[in-house]
Amino acid sequence: MTKIYIYCLFDTTKSTAFKGVYSSIQAVHRDALRLANRGESAVHMFYENESIEPTLVNLRNTFKGKHDVSVVYRTNRSLVTVYKTRLKE
């Protein structure tokens, strides 16, 4: 059985708006940073109420071996959620 993981991107600043689905963790990280970088403060990544530096390596390590989990990118004006799940055959 093949494991296929997908990443869903949501802009949850004002209401939950679906922005896209990705098969590449690098592409979803790039777009999440671009969407979240609207405020005057720096972008922070949160997983289980813990602040993590928003790097591709940290996102990959957070998602490693897990599915149906989400990470939030936050600034003072924006909130972006990346959700990882897998396709089931």
Separation of alpha carbons 1 and 56, rounded Å? 27
pLDDT band, very low/low/confident/very high, at 74 (cuts 50, 70, 90): very high
Closest of 51, 76, 59, 53 to residue 9, by C-alpha: 59
Q: Is 61 exposed, middle or buried (0-12, 13-18, 19+ CB in 10 A)?
A: exposed
Q: How confident is the model at residue 41 (pLDDT cuts 50, 70, 90)?
A: confident
Task: Work out the pLDDT band at 38, boundaries 50, 70, 90.
Answer: confident
The arithmetic mean of pLDDT across residues 40-61, rounded, is: 93
Residue 72 structural domain? 4-87
